[in-house]
Amino acid sequence: MIPAPYLLYLGHSRDFMGIKTSRGLAVFRPDACVGEFRHDDCPLTLDLPRLTIAEGAAAGAKTLVLGIANSGGTFGEGLLDDAAAALEAGMNVAAGLHHRLRDVPQLAALAEAKGLSLFDVRDPPADLVVGTGYARAGKRLLTVGTDCSTGKMYTTLALVRGLHARGIAADFRATGQTGILIAGAGIPVDAVVADFISGAIEMLSPARDDDGWDVIEGQGSLFHPSFAGVSAGVLHGAQAKALVMCHDPVRDHMRGLPGRALPPLADCIALNLQMSRLTSPDVVMTGIALNTSAMDEDAARRLCAETGDAHALPCTDPHRFGVEALLEALP
């Protein structure tokens, strides 16, 4: 476990979606966050106290969480210097980037000298197996999306909370860096060798016989040229009984690919169902989850109603309006 409480890192970030890991922790683990660290050129905030590295350590932060994400998961501007400053101040450092903190000699030596730890969250288990697609007991729900960063993790966590509120056993199965930091466990599937992705999901959500649900955080999109392979592996490993489609209705292009339009929602629903049937012949689409954070409430409610009617499925913004409609539609 990564020692809490946390100081959340925004650094020099200017991309709202790029701070999704820090934002996710601020939303779902607010009790574990003492504040945010950002440079003067960062216009973003999590509405937490803005602290310097020294102030964060004085406030009791045990770990600086480098909660940023970028294409390729690389170390961005000034990040290594900030990580070193956190170690000097007596904090551990955690990151979910593809580049590993432990592979930076300066940081590794400083952590050892200070008796502190570097946590690389995007480390998959060493004992992964190739998936088989054989039927296994239990009920599994998988969130899927029209694009990356459309709210799959938020929807997954909201569904787990909703099931718990109904007295139904449910487990959040994290597959990305943010979810793993929130849950304290999971498998970062985008760091798994391609042959083992479906097997990793089978391992993450093993057979269960308690009539509860494994709610699996989806990744990427079958329509995203960069990440469709990961999405397909997750679909096949999940062997889901139900899918929920996640969509950002105000986005004008695929994440990181200007000029490439998002797929029609109907096409994305159809293809996810078709590909899921390879390992889960009876899978159903339970509903649609919209990320309406950029819309006013009246417009958001109207769009949810119109989208649901257009596709004959329950539609809501899970974080904003709840998940009751999606839970009512579970098979």
CATH topology of domain 6-120: Rossmann fold (3.40.50)
Shortest CA distance to 145 belongs to which of 249, 49, 70? 249
Q: What is the pLDDT of residue 134?
A: 97
For residues 231-251, give the mean pLDDT.
98
Band (150; pLDDT cuts 50, 70, 90): very high
In this structure, is the dihedral angle defined by the CA atoms of residues 112, 115, 116 and 120, taken in order, positive or negative?
A: positive
- Quickly tell me which residue has 């329950």 as its tokens: 314
Instruction: List where CATH 3.40.50.300 sits in the chain.
Output: 139-328
Q: What is the pLDDT of residues 77-88, one digit of tens each?
A: 688 999 999 999
Q: Give the pair of three-digit tokens for residue 292.
A: 């309406």
Q: Which of 93, 113, 108 is nearest to 2 (CA)?
A: 93
| 3-state class (DSSP) for residue 171 | strand
Which pLDDT tens digit goes with each residue over 179-225? 999 998 999 999 999 999 999 999 999 999 999 999 999 999 999 99
- pLDDT per residue over 218-237, tens digit each? 999 999 999 999 999 999 99
Residues of the chain with CATH 3.40.50.720: 6-120
State how far the Cα of 185 lies from the Cα of 200, in Å rounded to an integer.
13
How far is the CA of 52 from the CAs of 59, 89, 115, 127, 140, in angstroms?
A: 10, 11, 22, 40, 43
Pick from 34-48, 67-81, 150-164, 247-261: least confident? 67-81
The average confidence (pLDDT) of the chain is 95
pLDDT of residue 255: 92
Distance CA(115)–CA(177), nearest Å, equals: 25
Task: Specify the pLDDT at position 16.
Answer: 85
The CATH architecture to which 139-328 belongs is 3-Layer(aba) Sandwich (3.40)
Q: Evaluate whether 289 touches 143 at the Cβ level (below 8 Å).
A: yes
- Which stretches of 191-317 are DSSP H helices? 197-204, 228-238, 265-276, 297-311
Cβ atoms 37, 51 nearer than 8 A: yes
Contact 285, 330 (CB under 8 A): no
Q: Does a cis peptide bond (omega within 30 degrees of 0) precede residue 5?
A: yes
**Are 97 and 74 spatial neighbours (Cβ–Cβ below 8 Å)?**
yes
